Amino acid sequence: MKQQMHALRYFASTLAVSLALSLVCFAQTASPVQSAQTAATVDHIAMMVADWTRARDYTKEYLEAMPEDGYGFKAAPDIRSFAEQMLHLANANYAFAVAATGAANTNTVNLEKTDSMKTKAACTKAVLDSYDFVINAVKGADVKKLGEAVKLFGRDTTRGGALAKAFEHQTHHRGQTTIYLRLKGVKPPAEKLF
């Protein structure tokens, strides 16, 4: 029952983000009068900044909850460690935000493959920096361009679609680390939908 409720919550949050970004894309094709009315009533950039800020704060709780000795922990031998999961999330935050907004990438290394990033302090800083990068990139985004076509990992999407995938990706990998915390005897942080 708990798994079904968790899956339902995950589905609902993903659906809400996708719906919000779909509305942005629809607004791009609406008449100028409709677009002006939509922009006046809904600030999509502010909504995305609020969601990314909430996601950053939630992820920070995960990073803080895992003890230092758990950063190298793997739930199974052939998967990423806790630190690698979080650093993978950080790498992707940069890649998605660059593709979606055109912001200059400030990350010059593969964080997941950099051993010095796998301590609690270094990993936490790297991951939170990646969220700050996304938040600042979104703040600088032009809402009128969210419907523009872009390539994301070789696939066609829109700028808004890339941001939706970015949000889904970080949620997915943070969610995977819930098991890591439980296996280390740590109660995961309470869900933050709002």
| Domains (range + CATH), the chain | 2-183 (1.20.120.450)
Mean pLDDT of 85-96: 97
* Contact predicate 58/128, CB 8 Å: no
pLDDT over threshold 90, residue 78: yes
Q: Please state the φ and ψ torsions of residue 168, each to the nearest 5 degrees.
A: -60, -40
Q: What is the pLDDT of residue 1?
A: 56
pLDDT over threshold 70, residue 15: no
Q: What is the pLDDT of residue 194?
A: 85
pLDDT over threshold 70, residue 32: no
The pLDDT-based confidence of 192 (bands split at 50, 70, 90) is confident
Q: Give the residue carrying structure tokens 């969610």.
A: 175
Q: What is the pLDDT of residue 11?
A: 44
**Parallel/antiparallel/unpaired status of strands 149-152 and 155-158:** antiparallel
**Considering only CA atoms, which of 170, 169, 76, 82 is closest in space to residue 120?**
82
pLDDT over threshold 80, residue 19: no
Mean pLDDT of the residues in the chain: 86
pTM greater than 0.75 (yes/no): yes
Q: What is the pLDDT of residue 47?
A: 95
Q: What is the pLDDT of residue 117?
A: 97
pLDDT digits (tens, 9 = 90+) for 112-130: 999 999 999 999 999 999 9
pLDDT over threshold 90, residue 103: yes
